[in-house]
Amino acid sequence: MTSGIDTGTRRAGVWLHLTSLPGPHGIGELGAPAFRFIDALRAMHLGVWQFLPIGPTGFGNSPYQALSSFAGNEMLIDMAELVTDGLLEPAELDELKKLPRDFVDYGALMPAKNRLLATAARRFLRAGDAGLRRDYEVFRAANDAAWLHDYSLFRLLKAQHAYRAWPDWPAQYASRDASALARFADRERARIDEIKVAQFLFFRQWSNLQDYARQNGVCLFGDMPIYVALDSADAWSNPQLLQLDAGNVPLKVAGVPPDYFAEDGQLWGNPLYDWQRHEQDGFRWWAARLRALADHVDFLRIDHFRGFESYWAVPAPADTARNGRWEAGPGNRFFDAMRATLGDLPIIAEDLGEITAEVDALREQQGMPGMCVLQFALADRDFALHQVGADRVCYTSTHDNDTVVGWFRSDADACSEAEETRWLRANILQVTQGSPETIHTDMVRTAFQTNAFLAITSMQDLLGLDSTARINIPGTAENNWLWRLSDEHLQPDFCENVTSLVLASNRGRVNE
Please, are residues 392 and 371 in contact by the beta-carbon 8 Å criterion? yes
Residue ranges of alpha helices (H) inside 304-403 are 332-342, 357-365, 374-377
Beta pairing, strands 370-373 & 219-224: unpaired
Beta pairing, strands 252-256 & 266-271: antiparallel
For helices 106-127 and 130-143, the axis angle rounded to 10 degrees is 110
Catalytic residue, candidates 350, 402, 411, 442 = 350
Give the whole-angstrom CA distance, residue 329 versus residue 426.
40
* CA angle, 421 then 425 then 430, to 5°: 145
* CA angle, 370 then 42 then 16, to 5°: 50
How many CB atoms lie under 10 A from the CB of residue 319?
9
Which residues share a beta bridge with 445? none
Please, are residues 342 and 287 in contact by the beta-carbon 8 Å criterion? yes
Catalytic residue, candidates 29, 391, 400, 461 = 400
Beta pairing, strands 310-315 & 252-256: antiparallel
Q: Three-state secondary structure along 92-115?
A: HHHHHHCCCCCECCHHHHHHHHHH
Confirm whether 350 is a catalytic residue.
yes
Q: Three-state secondary structure along 138-172?
A: HHHHHHHHHHHHHHHHHHHHHHHCCCCCHHHCCHH
Closest CA to 402 of 468, 350, 331: 468
Catalytic residue, candidates 279, 303, 336, 466 = 303
Confirm whether 411 is a catalytic residue.
no
Establish how many alpha carbons lie within 13 A of residue 485's alpha carbon, considering only the half-sphere containing its beta carbon: 27
Q: 425: helix, coil or strand?
A: helix
Closest CA to 70 of 239, 242, 162, 202: 202
**258 DSSP assignment:** S
Give the whole-angstrom CA distance, residue 365 versus residue 362.
5
Please list the active-site residues: 303, 350, 400
